Amino acid sequence: MTDNEFNALIQLLEDDDPEVSNHVETRLVEMGGDAIPRLEQAWEIVDDQLIQERLEEIIHVIQSVDTLEELKAWKDNEGRDLLRAWFLVSRYQFPNLTYVLYKNKVNRLVNKIWLDLRRDMNVAEKLMAVNRMLFSHEEFQANKRSLNNPSNYFMHTFFDKKKGTPLTLGLLYMNICQQLDIPVHGIVLPSYFVLYYKDYYNEFYIDVFNKGAFFVQKDLTRFIKGMSLEDDPRYYQPSSQVSILEHFIQTLIHAFNARKEEDKVKKFEKLLSEINT
């Protein structure tokens, strides 16, 4: 699209005829992510507040569409990078987030923990090194007072406050371990999330909401019974990366619902539905 054509479309955004303005918005959205720098530049130039507001809406729609397509591609790729998916869900609400910033934060933690590891360490000692770095040195902690606060779930607010839920603390912990070649996986429980480790000699669970405490299967059984749940084999084996992401979005919907933020509930219900189509 030439600059003259593009500028003509921008001017038509103030047209009083909804059919005209809707057609223009559709044309601009169809340009995709490559159009965002031009739209942002147009926002800076125009003096009309109405046009600026419509430009903001168009940019947000384009970013939301791009995010949805990336999440679908992630799912089609069998959900191999859960950290990336967590970021994408966060970006769906906060379009200006930059992945590399948070990827570097995680990499910094991985590198600091790696320096503390020795070849002769067993898996429990390695995981204790992870616990020390996250919960003592870096002071990540459980937000036990405000579990339904959506800020617990978005990547940028989680890293800023260093407070989270079993799910977000678990996502961070699991990603760090996997980068350190420690095969830790997540298990989705109703209203909770734990981590699981198994090798030829060891099998145990990790409660990241309790500073990475280790526990065994009988403890998990007792916990499940304490929640008045029927025993289910799914509660003892790793959940798929895709099911963890779906649970993440459902939990976020529940958090918004608890705060009666119906517009955001609908927004993330639509995201979940689109991912599953």
Label residue 15 by pLDDT band (50, 70, 90). low
Judge if 253 and 153 occupy the same domain: yes
Task: Find the range with the poorest average confidence among 46-50, 74-78, 104-108, 110-114.
Answer: 46-50
Domain stops at, among 76, 104, 122: 76
Judge if 258 and 212 occupy the same domain: yes
Judge if 91 and 198 occupy the same domain: yes
Cα 148 versus chain centre, distance: 16
pLDDT attached to residue 229: 85
Judge if 44 and 148 occupy the same domain: no
Label residue 250 by pLDDT band (50, 70, 90). very high
Render pLDDT for 186-235 as a digit per residue (tens, 0 to 9). 999 988 999 999 999 999 999 999 999 999 999 999 999 988 888 899 99
Judge if 48 and 103 occupy the same domain: no
Q: Going along 69-216, which residue ranges are E strands? A: 141-142, 163-164, 184-189, 192-198, 203-207, 213-215
The stretches of 183-238 forming alpha helices (DSSP H) are 217-226
Judge if 26 and 158 occupy the same domain: no
Q: Which domain holds residue 239?
A: 82-275
Contacts of 72 (CB under 8 A, 6+ apart): 274, 275
* Span 40-67, average pLDDT: 79
Judge if 207 and 142 occupy the same domain: yes
Judge if 37 and 69 occupy the same domain: yes
Q: How many CA atoms lie within 13 A of 124 on its CB side?
A: 8
Judge if 66 and 98 occupy the same domain: no
In the DSSP assignment, the letter for residue 182 is: -
Judge if 18 and 98 occupy the same domain: no
CATH number at residue 18: 1.25.10
Render pLDDT for 59-73 as a digit per residue (tens, 0 to 9). 878 888 888 888 999
pLDDT attached to residue 158: 95
Domain stops at, among 41, 58, 76: 76
Tell whether the model's pLDDT for residue 123 goes beyond 90: yes
Taken as a whole, the chain contains a residue count of 277
Judge if 124 and 248 occupy the same domain: yes
In the chain, the number of structural domains is 2
Tokens (6 digits) for 261: 């933020």
Report the C-alpha gap between 15 and 196 in whole angstroms.
Answer: 58
Task: Find the range with the poorest average confidence among 39-48, 148-157, 268-277.
Answer: 39-48
pLDDT attached to residue 90: 94
pLDDT above 90 coverage of the chain, percent: 58
Amino acid letter, residue 272: L
CB atoms within 10 A of CB 146: 12
Q: Going along 16-128, which residue ranges are E strands? A: none
Which of 4-8, 27-31, 98-102, 271-275 is modeled with the greatest confidence?
98-102
In the DSSP assignment, the letter for residue 236 is: G
Label residue 57 by pLDDT band (50, 70, 90). confident
Domain stops at, among 54, 76, 98: 76
Judge if 112 and 61 occupy the same domain: no
